[in-house]
Amino acid sequence: MINAVGRRKASIARVYLTKGDGKVVINGKQLEEYFPQKHIQNALMDPFKTVEAEKIYDLKVNVKGGGFKGQAEASRMAISRALVKLNEEFRKPLKEKKYLTRDARVVERKKYGKPKARKSFQFSKR
């Protein structure tokens, strides 16, 4: 069993990779149940497609924090890291698709005197 951690925005994903037949369990639910959107499912399984290792490994994912997109991208990063731990030759194709790079963009904090981080209240000259 190989484990790895991935992070994105406020989400943290722990992935456990074992030999199997391609079952994916996220927080105790099946992939289709936890992420019903097809494009999110595809994004999550893309590291396996990139290294042509589909239906070879079982995945168990624990993910918490953030929204579904952040959770999916954190999981994708963790899966990529686990695959690299498994076989160092997978690093090059995964790195080319930027799956091993931590996306450091997070929500900017709200500033006082403003309704949001940068938005200002309507200016009135008179």
Mean pLDDT calculated for residue range 5-24: 93
Q: From edge to edge, which strands make up the β-sheet containing 11-19? A: 2-8, 11-19, 57-64, 24-26, 29-30
Kindly state the percentage of the chain with pLDDT values over 70: 100
- Beta-strand runs (E) in the chain: 2-8, 11-19, 24-26, 29-30, 57-64
Residue 22 has pLDDT above 90, yes or no: no
Mean pLDDT of all residues in 18-27: 92
| Rounded distance between C-alpha atoms, residue 88 and residue 82, angstroms | 10
What pTM value is reported for the model? 0.90
> What are the pLDDT digits (tens) for 75-100?
999 999 999 999 899 999 999 999 99
